[in-house]
Amino acid sequence: MTPVTRSPSTRPAVGADLTADAGRRKWLSGTVRAVAGASLLSLVDPLVRAGAWAAGTDAPEKTEVKIGFIPLTDCASVVMASVLGIDKKYGVTITPSKEASWAAVRDKLMNGELDMAHVLYGLIYGVHLGVGGPKKDMAVLMNLNQNGQAITLSNKLLQAGARDGESLAKLMATDKREYTFAQTFPTGTHAMWLYYWLAAYGINPMKDAKVITVPPPQMVANMRVGNMDGFCVGEPWGARAIMDKIGFTAVTTQGIWQDHPEKVLGTSAEFVSRHPNTARAVTAAILEAGKWIDASPANRQKTAETIAAKSYVNTDASGIVDRMQGRYENGLGKSWTDEHAMRFHADGAANFPYLSDGMWFLTQHKRWGLLKAHPDYLAMAKQVNRIDLYKQAASAAGVALPASETRSSTLIDGVVWDGSNPAAYADGFKVKV
């Protein structure tokens, strides 16, 4: 099966519909510039640094903000907002907190030990609906990035003849045994990319395979000892499997859904209710950090070197930088420059919390039996995705807004998703629970 490329007309339209008043824009016009080797890159108005938003009326209610993250490349904008000092420009101090698993992130968001988190899109929706655990009202403040994950298959499968989805399906149909694939959290993005890809080739992940949950940093080690045939995870662990010669990239997630949403800045609805100005300020700071990362190859190189440290991803920078720069090789001899590699800003298109993106995860939760009945898709997305706060933060950070709060995409199986009829979309797949 050949992946379907979305036409330019269906890509997110990003306009310049900024609504900030002139006074606020002028007052927030602190200068951010790179200073080699320095930890603080924001040179800002001292009043802004003191924590006021506009004439003191919208100052952050909480100025020290603890944000959880998992050691993955796409935690970069959270880390860099802190390292570069961009957070101070908006009157907050971000403390990144390294977490061991997505389950730990979920629990700490729910009990308030974390204020916010770099987190899986579908995890936030799963908690909001009480899927697979306790229920708590949640909020998505922004997308942190798009693209940049991968599905890795083991060298054992390669030796048996599986190089891609089509050959994997043929192998599984002829060589009957238990095939095990790993994802990182049952309602999360990696589970949904894995399931969607397998199903596109006629493999039902719930019936034809065993699916296990493994924390991202443990994926490579588990494949090394033969605990799984394949896994879906964020970078740098796909690249690491190739470097360690234990697997190869069967497909990138942008090959499944070009410019797909990935991690989000998530928090509880309770936190937003109590600290709306803090939520807005942190969103603006991370937006600006994402813009800085995407501004140049040199900035992406510096970011890779920064997040490679033990306190963050804890790997060699060489394992991060190539795919962050869009330089891919799949472990089978193919190399290419990917025009849809991981992006942290993309002129705002990577960050806007599209309602249709939120609804898509709900359709897949329904497809795979995580939801027993259709929810009110649009109402749920409007409740969780805090577009109101995002627009205010985008105005402060000088980030353009898209023309619409929904978008249209064509995924690898040729099926179009535009959010117009989510129930019919969820029920329309041939391969499902």
Reported as a single tens digit per residue, the pLDDT across 209-268 is 999 999 999 999 999 999 999 999 999 999 999 999 999 999 999 999 999 999 999 999
Q: How confident is the model at residue 329 (pLDDT cuts 50, 70, 90)?
A: very high
The pLDDT of 371-375, averaged and rounded, is: 97
Q: What is the model's pLDDT at position 54?
A: 42
CATH number (3.60.15.10, 3.10.20.340, 3.40.190.10, 3.30.420.10) of 12-147+261-409 reads 3.40.190.10
pLDDT at position 388 over 90: yes
* Cβ-based neighbour number of residue 239 at 10 Å: 25
Q: What is the model's pLDDT at position 184?
A: 98
Token pair in block for residue 317:
């920078």
User: Which of 3-7, 111-115, 182-186, 311-315 is predicted least confidently?
Assistant: 3-7
The pLDDT of 411-430, averaged and rounded, is: 98
Q: Answer whether 326's CB lies under 8 Å from 242's CB.
A: no
φ/ψ (deg, to 5) at 303: -65, -45
User: What share of residues in the chain are helix, strand, coil (percent, to 5)?
Assistant: 40, 15, 40
CB crowding 123-143: b at 16 or more within 10 Å, else e: bbbbbbbebeeeeeebbbbbb
Q: What is the mean pLDDT of the chain?
A: 89
Q: How confident is the model at residue 132 (pLDDT cuts 50, 70, 90)?
A: confident
pTM: 0.88
Q: What is the model's pLDDT at position 57?
A: 73
Q: Please tell me the distance from the alpha carbon of residue 264 to that of residue 102, in angstroms, as a whole number.
A: 13
Token pair in block for residue 112:
């308030």
Reported as a single tens digit per residue, the pLDDT across 11-65 is 333 333 333 333 333 323 332 323 233 333 333 333 343 334 444 578 999 999 9
User: Which of 44-58, 274-288, 355-369 is predicted least confidently?
Assistant: 44-58
Q: What is the model's pLDDT at position 136?
A: 97
Q: How confident is the model at residue 6 (pLDDT cuts 50, 70, 90)?
A: very low
- Locate all alpha helices (DSSP H) within 67-120, ordered by sequence: 76-83, 86-89, 102-111
Burial label for 368, CB within 10 Å (0-12, 13-18, 19+), is: buried
Every domain of the chain and the residues it spans: 12-147+261-409, 149-255
- Does the domain at 149-255 match CATH 3.20.20.70? Answer given as no
DSSP for 187-251, written as a single string: TSHHHHHHHHHHHHTT--TTTSSEEEE--GGGHHHHHHTTS-SEEEEETTHHHHHHHTTSEEEEE
User: Which of 35-49, 89-103, 263-277 is predicted least confidently?
Assistant: 35-49
**12-147+261-409 shares its CATH topology with 149-255:** yes
Q: What is the model's pLDDT at position 56?
A: 58
Q: What is the model's pLDDT at position 211?
A: 98
Reported as a single tens digit per residue, the pLDDT across 150-197 is 999 999 999 999 999 999 999 999 999 999 999 999 999 999 999 999
337-340's contacts with Cβ under 8 Å and 24+ in sequence apart are 338/252, 338/254, 340/147, 340/254, 340/258, 340/259
Q: What is the model's pLDDT at position 205?
A: 98
Q: What is the model's pLDDT at position 68?
A: 98
Token pair in block for residue 69:
């993250």
Q: Answer whether 335's CB lies under 8 Å from 328's CB.
A: yes
Q: What is the model's pLDDT at position 36?
A: 30
